[in-house]
């Protein structure tokens, strides 16, 4: 409210009982809008307040007290204490300070009955407001305006807590005139003015018109309760009774419904089912609102949908209400609505800045209200808040509060739900934290690429099987959302892509084809998701030599534009197809403009831009343009190493492609060469020189290599060696080999020549080994010290002839290497140097 700080004067204290709260809120709002400083216990008393001390303070500081006399007020001892304090001679100081606003047809007994009341019942809102303000003026003279404004303006008036009236009015929702309310009504007043949500209100109104149960579902703070309150206030004249029940604790729902019994002529201990039955029997329209219900399973057994004109409206964070009724998920605000909300709370805010704040907060209603409250309370520019939000989001989101939600911030909003999730499903909690680092959604390959890097054991086990994870996700979405929901179709496409990466081409084609059929039917032929399905199916058919994405490219460029990323994806696929079938000229005609467009639209370091550069390099090589191929492949490799890392599959593709253009001689272990030759003699190689092939003579997918490597390393390596960063993937054996050369004392310049890497990369990336590096280093130190000792002893033994070295020149390095790297060089006598193999 706009008053209440110790030592600050108040204009009006409004006293009421529970059944008169609606009238008290309307009275307080009308007085505030006229410029008065008002306090109301329902608004200003917080948990922990010493009510007696608070009442003594406000009655002494307030120039007037208005007793809102309802049926409950006449029977309330607490109400007698409030108006009695205002009647006290030590407070009156000879001035009549107590006003009576009657909101009941009952006569007022006792001392209160001696005062001429302000009769508000049966009057229109305009007449009631005029009567109220006239009574206040008649008792205390004109309202004293704060400096810089008059009561009829909307300029700032300093409040008792250092806040200004327009700020509060800007955010507080207007109280409904109680004379326009249903006979039974306990709906809370909006804590802030409602902004936007026109479409969500329309969907809710349509759902409610059908009868039965309607559930407004969504994330914490997304505005479910606000939407329900706004709907009920707008539709209040269409109901005879509206009862709002906080349903966060299922065991108390029955008691809170039972409170309605006396108003319906039932005993106070009537069963909740009897209360609903009486509402139905009255043949009127009634609405029961269950706010923050846990889920349909937790609903009490006596709660049934109406057999008449009754309705049940639920707000809940749970998303499994489809079987119980109609679901209305409001979701985040639209960007224009977010800007409108901030502009409503902060009239002077620059709309461009408001849009950027909304973007940083994900258009989350509660976070936006908190931001407005924080900016207003700090009296700081919105630009300053935006800069702090970008630099220190965790700190900023923990500051301030949300009107009507004491102690709640965007930073604490998820604390309790996360604790529950961790207790009920630890893997889900771990997945949620991982997904929080993404912008919109988490790609399945990001989760399954390296399961051992995941901390949670249950989630790590799930991530180790991408097919099971994708299938479960698609199945769960189909169960919860239905088979035709766009999110279900997205999960089914993700499942198809998982099969595609594993080489199950036939099954992939069926999945993509079915998804395309469903999207075409539900979304239409020109929807972007439908075009994506056409692209995916075309690419899958292209892998089998039967694809043609040209029609998809034509439609994407027509509907999205030639420079749209999706259109560029299809053009990139078409360039790859032409290269694969040997149509080099056509491939270049698509590859060159695709790279140029992706650089312009996405940037030079975007992974898709690097894909196009890699593709163009391969096409140049096929066309015999060696220098240009080398240039593009080198740049693609450097970019992928920088952006994706040295172990990313795309980086490895670039490494392999670039290596094809150069010839390097490297030393190989003779026994490994013998194993390799036996393999070639037994199984042969593919037409393009590959050692391993799939069942259809195609390339083996990376996930299959990884599975076999896991089996092999469990057999050959110790647990400590398996945990080494050089033992996670087969490609890491290259790290081990290069590290072995460095550990063995091979000069860095020679290692650079063999490995085809720079000195910097060799020292930063490869200067490590699976095990034994410390031992090798100690042996080198021992050798150096022994050499120094031998040098120092030489003069003393000059007469004894030449000294013998303590260690042969080969002992420190060879012995150390044998023990340090049993996985690379066996600790057995080595055969003569083997042949050099060109890579």
Condensed to tens digits (0 to 9), the pLDDT of residues 160-218 reads 332 232 333 334 456 667 767 777 888 887 777 888 888 899 999 999 988 789 999 98
**Residues 6+ away with beta carbon under 8 Å from 469:** 444, 447, 448, 462, 463
**Range scoring the smallest mean pLDDT among 426-440, 761-775, 794-808:** 794-808
Given a cut of 60, whether residue 443 has pLDDT beyond it is no
Instruction: Please give the pLDDT value at position 608.
Output: 92
Instruction: Please give the pLDDT value at position 139.
Output: 43
Return the residue matching tokens 């096929």.
Answer: 622
Identify which has the larger pLDDT, 296 or 756. Answer: 296
Contact 704, 503 (CB under 8 A): yes
The share of the chain scoring above pLDDT 70, in percent, equals 69
Return the residue matching tokens 């009255």.
Answer: 282
SS3 808: coil
Contact 169, 46 (CB under 8 A): no
Residue from 336, 340, 387 nearest 360 by CA: 387
Instruction: Please give the pLDDT value at position 131.
Output: 83
CA distance 633 to 636: 5
Condensed to tens digits (0 to 9), the pLDDT of residues 544-597 reads 666 678 899 999 999 888 999 899 999 999 998 888 888 899 999 999 999 999
CA distance 466 to 456: 16
- Listing DSSP states for 649-667 in one string gives HHHHHHHHHHHTT---EE-
Condensed to tens digits (0 to 9), the pLDDT of residues 225-281 reads 999 999 998 888 888 888 999 998 888 999 999 988 888 888 988 999 999 988 888
Q: What is the mean pLDDT of residues 49-59?
A: 69
Residue 835 gets which letter from DSSP? -
Instruction: Please give the pLDDT value at position 85.
Output: 62
CA distance 619 to 629: 8
SS3 102: strand
Return the residue matching tokens 């846990």.
Answer: 294
Given a cut of 70, whether residue 27 has pLDDT beyond it is yes
Given a cut of 60, whether residue 151 has pLDDT beyond it is no
CA distance 54 to 58: 6
Residue from 305, 68, 286 nearest 183 by CA: 286
How does residue 158 score in pLDDT terms, banded at 50, 70 and 90? very low
Q: How far is CA 554 from the centre of its chain?
A: 35
**Range scoring the smallest mean pLDDT among 56-70, 106-120, 167-181, 297-311:** 167-181
Instruction: Please give the pLDDT value at position 590.
Output: 93
Instruction: Please give the pLDDT value at position 752.
Output: 67
Q: What is the mean pLDDT of residues 344-364?
A: 91
Instruction: Please give the pLDDT value at position 60.
Output: 75
Cα dihedral sign, 514-520-526-528? negative
Please give the structure tokens belonging to residue 794. Answer: 């030489």
SS3 213: strand
Cβ-in-10-Å burial (0-12, 13-18, 19+) of 363 comes to buried
How does residue 786 score in pLDDT terms, banded at 50, 70 and 90? low
**Residue 304 phi, psi (nearest 5):** -130, 150
Instruction: Please give the pLDDT value at position 161.
Output: 32
Please give the structure tokens belonging to residue 366. Answer: 């509660």
SS3 291: strand
Identify which has the larger pLDDT, 811 or 289. Answer: 289
Condensed to tens digits (0 to 9), the pLDDT of residues 445-504 reads 555 555 566 665 666 666 666 666 777 778 877 876 778 888 888 888 888 887 776 666
In 376-444 the beta strands, taken as DSSP E runs, fall at none
Cβ-in-10-Å burial (0-12, 13-18, 19+) of 71 comes to middle
CA distance 475 to 453: 26
Distances 22 to 175, 258, 460 between C-alpha atoms, Å? 8, 21, 54
Q: What is the mean pLDDT of residues 691-700?
A: 71
Please give the structure tokens belonging to residue 95. Answer: 């001035």
**Residue 244 phi, psi (nearest 5):** -100, 125
SS3 621: helix
How does residue 681 score in pLDDT terms, banded at 50, 70 and 90? confident
CA distance 264 to 74: 20
SS3 120: coil
Residue 316 gets which letter from DSSP? E
Condensed to tens digits (0 to 9), the pLDDT of residues 418-431 reads 777 777 777 666 66
| Averaged confidence pLDDT in the chain | 75
**Residue 240 phi, psi (nearest 5):** -90, -25
**Residues 6+ away with beta carbon under 8 Å from 147:** none
Exposure string for 103-132, b = 16+ CB within 10 A, e = fewer: bbeeebeeebeebebbebeebeeeebbeeb
Contact 135, 118 (CB under 8 A): yes
**Range scoring the smallest mean pLDDT among 43-47, 790-794, 832-836:** 832-836
Instruction: Please give the pLDDT value at position 313.
Output: 93
Identify which has the larger pLDDT, 279 or 746. Answer: 279
Give alpha helix (H) positions in 426-564.
426-435, 444-448, 457-463, 466-481, 486-501, 505-523, 528-543, 550-560
Q: What is the mean pLDDT of residues 90-101?
A: 62
Q: Which helix (H) or strand (E) holds 245?
A: strand 241-246
Instruction: Please give the pLDDT value at position 809.
Output: 34
**Residue 689 phi, psi (nearest 5):** 90, 5
Q: Which helix (H) or strand (E) holds 67?
A: strand 62-69
Given a cut of 90, whether residue 352 has pLDDT beyond it is yes
Given a cut of 80, whether residue 339 has pLDDT beyond it is yes
Q: What is the mean pLDDT of residues 517-526?
A: 89
Instruction: Please give the pLDDT value at position 342.
Output: 93
How does residue 766 score in pLDDT terms, banded at 50, 70 and 90? low
Instruction: Please give the pLDDT value at position 354.
Output: 93
Instruction: Please give the pLDDT value at position 707.
Output: 72
CA distance 29 to 38: 9
Identify which has the larger pLDDT, 371 or 803. Answer: 371
Q: In the Cβ-directed half-sphere of 531, how many Cα atoms lie within 13 Å? A: 21
Give me the count of residues in the chain: 839
**Range scoring the smallest mean pLDDT among 136-140, 238-242, 799-803:** 799-803
Condensed to tens digits (0 to 9), the pLDDT of residues 11-26 reads 888 888 887 888 888 8
Q: In the Cβ-directed half-sphere of 147, how many Cα atoms lie within 13 Å? A: 0
């Amino acid at each position: 409210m706009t008053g209440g700080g110790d030592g600050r004067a108040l204009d009006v204290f409004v006293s009421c009982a529970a059944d008169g709260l609606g009238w008290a809120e309307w009275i307080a709002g009308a007085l505030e809008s006229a410029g008065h400083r008002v306090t109301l216990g329902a608004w200003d008393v917080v948990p922990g307040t010493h009510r007696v001390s608070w009442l003594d303070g406000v009655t002494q500081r307030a120039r007037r007290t208005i007793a809102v006399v309802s049926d409950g007020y006449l029977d309330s001892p607490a109400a007698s204490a409030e108006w009695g304090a205002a009647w006290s001679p030590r407070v009156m100081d000879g001035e009549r300070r107590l006003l009576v606003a009657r909101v009941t047809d009952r006569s007022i007994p006792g001392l209160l009955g001696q005062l001429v009341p302000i009769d508000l019942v049966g009057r229109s809102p305009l007449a009631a407001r005029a009567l109220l303000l006239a009574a206040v003026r008649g008792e205390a003279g004109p309202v004293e305006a704060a400096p810089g404004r008059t009561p009829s303006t909307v300029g700032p008036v300093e409040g008792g807590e250092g806040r200004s009236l327009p700020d509060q009015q800007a955010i507080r929702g207007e109280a409904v005139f109680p004379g326009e309310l249903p006979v039974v009504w306990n709906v809370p007043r909006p804590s802030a003015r409602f902004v936007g949500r026109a479409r969500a209100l329309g969907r809710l109104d349509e759902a409610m018109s059908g009868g039965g149960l309607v559930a407004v579902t969504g994330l914490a703070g997304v505005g479910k309760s606000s939407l329900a309150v706004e709907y009920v206030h707008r539709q209040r004249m269409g109901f005879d009774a509206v009862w709002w029940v906080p349903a966060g604790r299922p065991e108390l729902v029955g008691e809170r419904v039972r409170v309605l019994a006396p108003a319906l002529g039932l005993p106070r201990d009537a069963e909740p089912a009897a209360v609903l039955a009486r509402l139905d029997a009255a043949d009127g329209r009634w609405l029961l609102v269950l706010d923050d219900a846990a889920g349909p399973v937790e609903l009490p057994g006596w709660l049934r949908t109406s057999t008449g004109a009754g309705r049940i409206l639920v707000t809940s964070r749970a998303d499994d209400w489809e079987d119980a009724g109609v679901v209305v998920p409001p979701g985040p605000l639209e960007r224009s609505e977010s800007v409108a909300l901030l502009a409503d709370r902060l009239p002077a805010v620059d709309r461009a800045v408001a849009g950027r704040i909304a973007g940083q907060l994900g258009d989350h209603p509660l976070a936006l209200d908190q931001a407005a409250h924080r900016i207003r309370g700090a009296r700081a520019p919105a630009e300053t808040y935006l800069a702090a939000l970008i630099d220190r989001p965790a700190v900023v989101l923990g500051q301030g509060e949300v009107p009507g939600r004491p102690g709640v911030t965007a930073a604490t909003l998820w604390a309790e739900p996360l604790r529950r999730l961790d207790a009920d499903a630890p893997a889900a909690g771990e997945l949620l934290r991982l997904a929080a680092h993404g912008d919109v959604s988490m790609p399945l390959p990001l989760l399954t690429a390296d399961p051992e890097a995941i901390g949670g054991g249950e989630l790590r086990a799930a991530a180790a099987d991408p097919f099971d994870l994708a299938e479960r996700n698609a199945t769960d979405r189909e169960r919860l959302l239905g088979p035709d929901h766009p999110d279900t179709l997205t999960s089914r496409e993700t499942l198809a892509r998982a099969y595609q990466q594993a080489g199950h081409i036939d099954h992939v084609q069926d999945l993509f084809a079915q998804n395309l059929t469903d999207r075409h039917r539900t979304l239409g032929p020109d929807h972007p998701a439908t075009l994506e399905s056409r692209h995916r199916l075309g690419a899958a058919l292209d892998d089998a030599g039967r694809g043609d994405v040209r029609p998809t490219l034509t439609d994407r460029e027509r509907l999205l534009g030639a420079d749209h990323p999706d259109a560029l994806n299809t053009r990139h696929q078409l360039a790859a197809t032409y290269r694969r079938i040997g149509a080099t000229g056509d491939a270049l005609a698509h590859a060159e403009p695709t790279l140029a467009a992706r650089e312009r639209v996405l940037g030079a370091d975007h992974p898709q831009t690097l894909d196009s550069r890699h593709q163009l390099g391969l096409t140049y090589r096929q066309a015999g343009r060696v220098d240009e191929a080398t240039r593009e492949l080198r740049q693609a490799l450097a970019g992928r190493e920088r952006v994706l890392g040295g172990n990313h599959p795309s980086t490895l593709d670039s490494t392999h492609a670039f290596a094809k253009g150069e010839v390097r001689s490297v030393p190989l272990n003779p026994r490994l060469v013998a194993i390799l030759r036996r393999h070639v003699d037994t199984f042969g190689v593919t037409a393009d020189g590959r050692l391993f092939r799939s069942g259809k003579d195609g390339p083996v997918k990376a996930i299959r290599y990884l599975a076999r490597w896991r089996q092999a390393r469990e057999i050959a390596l110790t647990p400590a060696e398996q945990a080494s960063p050089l033992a996670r993937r087969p490609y890491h054996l290259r790290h081990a080999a290069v590290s072995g050369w460095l550990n063995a004392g091979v000069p860095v310049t020679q290692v650079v020549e063999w490995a085809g890497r720079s000195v910097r990369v060799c020292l930063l990336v490869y200067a490590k080994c699976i095990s034994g590096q410390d031992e090798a280093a100690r042996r080198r130190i021992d050798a150096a010290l022994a050499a120094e000792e031998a040098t120092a002893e030489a003069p003393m033994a000059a007469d004894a002839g030449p000294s013998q070295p303590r260690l042969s020149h080969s002992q420190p390095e060879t012995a150390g290497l044998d023990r340090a790297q049993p996985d690379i060089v066996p600790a057995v006598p080595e055969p003569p140097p083997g042949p050099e193999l060109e890579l």
